């Protein structure tokens, strides 16, 4: 796929381990380093070594999306959708516009809320 995709959930992507003796005389695998990709990372199907089926499951489940994860303030407990909705309604200039924006955001898919929020930010910067 030619689109750019972003992680919307943290994902383990390998790591390092070593074999150590166990109490039964055998060996056990101990993870010494994890490679966890954080939300917002740009990813590709080939980079994650995902089959077509697995990749499609991640897209369908929202694990990877073709639009960026929002840059939220550190420590925010809002979901990304709630954060984008708040930005969208905050960009409205009147109470009536905020109510309309909130109702629209509640019915739009996350991707549309994101795009609408980005458009509202650009419009506010031009003013």
What stretch of H or E contains 115? helix 110-126
Of all residues in the chain, what percent are helix, strand and coil, respectively (each to 5)? 40, 25, 35
Condensed to tens digits (0 to 9), the pLDDT of residues 25-78 reads 999 988 888 888 888 899 999 988 899 999 999 999 989 998 888 887 777 777
Distance CA 55, CA 49 (A): 9
- Band of pLDDT at residue 15, cut at 50, 70 and 90: confident
Long-range contacts of 99-102 (CB under 8 A, 24+ apart): none
Q: 45 to each of 11, 15, 67, 113, 119, how far by Cα in Å?
A: 13, 18, 15, 25, 29
Amino acid 97: pLDDT: 62
Contact 8, 64 (CB under 8 A): yes
Tell whether pTM > 0.75. Answer: no
Distance CA 42, CA 50 (A): 15
DSSP string, 4-19: -EEESS-EEEEEEEEE
Q: Regarding predicted confidence, which is higher, 23 or 2?
A: 23
The ranges assigned to domains in the chain are 1-69, 71-127
């Amino acid at each position: 796929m030619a689109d750019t995709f972003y992680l919307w959930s943290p994902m383990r992507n390998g790591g390092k381990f070593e074999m150590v003796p166990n109490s039964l005389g055998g060996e056990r695998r101990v993870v010494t380093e994890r490679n966890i990709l954080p939300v917002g990372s740009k990813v590709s199907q080939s980079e994650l070594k995902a089959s077509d089926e697995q990749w499609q499951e991640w897209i369908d489940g929202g694990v990877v999306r073709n639009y960026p994860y929002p840059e939220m303030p550190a420590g925010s407990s809002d979901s990304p959708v709630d954060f984008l909705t708040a930005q969208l309604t905050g960009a409205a200039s009147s109470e009536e516009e905020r109510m309309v924006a909130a109702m629209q955001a509640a019915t739009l898919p996350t991707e549309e809320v994101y795009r609408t929020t980005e458009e509202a930010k650009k419009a506010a910067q031009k003013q």
